[in-house]
Amino acid sequence: MAEPELEVRRSARRRRTYTVFRERGRLVALVPARMTPAQVRELLPPLVEKFLRREAQRTLPASGDELAARARDLFRLHLAGRTGAELPAFTIRWVDNQNHRWGSCTTGEGSIRLSSRLRGMPTWVSDYVILHELAHLFVPDHSRAFHELLADYPQVERARAFLQGYEHAVNAEGGGEPD
Ligand SMILES: [Zn+2]
């Protein structure tokens, strides 16, 4: 998979080993400071690929409590700066019968449901859907104000494209948008 956002950071403390991780949605590689650009170009791609493969296999927490904890973390990282308000009380759970929607949010009762189809997807995709539904706790529609809330999450466009591509592949009439 092509990875458009990779930041290579050189670390004087590193001697030989490379590390690939994600920081606020962005892919970062720590490489030893004395490696030449040619060495980095040669050694990095397989490690990035391995990281992305592992990331894609990682599954989200099954239980409501752990899932809610993850949602709160995502809120702190990507939404809190824009909502200007605390996260209201909410519940979040997986559902198996949501085959035409990725997620939904009943704003009155603060209940979020996520399609279990998301569990096999890269976490930056399911994180986007969680953030999308959390944003609905503040703005129920898809107005401009809603999209502005999500603007701090770096993978919005990429995640939407991923979901649309997935829908297109399995079901030509699917819209591929979370509700
Ligand atoms: Zn929505």
The dihedral built from the CA positions of residue 84, 62, 117 and 59, taken in this order, carries a sign that is: positive
pLDDT of residue 41: 87
User: What is the per-residue pLDDT across 21-68, written as a single tens digit (0 to 9) for each?
Assistant: 877 667 889 899 888 889 888 888 888 888 887 776 666 777 778 889
Tell me: do 15 and 85 sit in the same domain.
Answer: no
146 C-alpha to ligand 1 centroid (Å): 9
Evaluate if pTM is beyond 0.85. Answer: no
Q: Please indicate, yes or no, whether residues 22 and 95 belong to a single structural domain of this protein.
A: no
The CATH number of whichever domain residue 149 belongs to comes to 3.30.2010.10
88 secondary structure, DSSP code: P
Q: How far is the CA of 133 from the centre of ligand 1 (A)?
A: 6
Instruction: Please tell me the distance from the alpha carbon of residue 75 to that of residue 61, in angstroms, as a whole number.
Output: 16
pLDDT band at 134 (very low <50, low <70, confident <90, very high): very high
Q: How far does the centroid of ligand 1 lie from the alpha carbon of residue 46, in Å? A: 36
Q: Residues 90, 119: one domain? A: yes
Average pLDDT score over the chain: 86
Return the closest-CA partner of residue 11 out of 35, 33, 40.
33
Are 25 and 13 in contact by the 8 Å Cβ rule? The answer is no
pLDDT at 78: 94
Q: How far, in Å, is the centroid of ligand 1 from the Cα of 179?
A: 4
Question: Do residue 51 and residue 70 come from a single domain?
Answer: no
175 vs 57: which has the higher pLDDT:
57
Residues 97 and 163 occupy one common structural domain: yes
How far away, in angstroms, is 140 Cα from ligand 1 center? Answer: 8
* pLDDT confidence of residue 127: 93
- Is residue 94, in this structure, part of any structural domain at all? yes
Q: pLDDT digits over 1-26, tens only?
A: 444 578 889 888 777 778 888 776 67
What pLDDT does residue 178 have? Answer: 73
What lies within 8 Å, CB to CB, of 74 at 6+ separation is: 127, 130, 131, 134
pLDDT confidence of residue 56: 67
Distance 18 CA to ligand 1 centre (A): 39
* Dist. CA 122 → ligand 1 center (Å): 20
Q: Are 51 and 122 members of one domain?
A: no
Lowest mean pLDDT among 21-30, 33-42, 102-111, 155-164: 21-30
In a domain, 1, yes or no: no
Question: Residue 42 is part of which domain span?
Answer: 6-57
When pLDDT is cut at 50, 70 and 90, the band that residue 106 belongs to is very high
CA of 63 to the centre of ligand 1 (A): 23
Number of domains composing the chain? 2
Judgement on whether residues 88 and 161 belong to the same structural domain of the protein: yes
**Alpha carbon of 134 to ligand 1 centroid (Å):** 9
23 and 51 in a single domain? The answer is yes
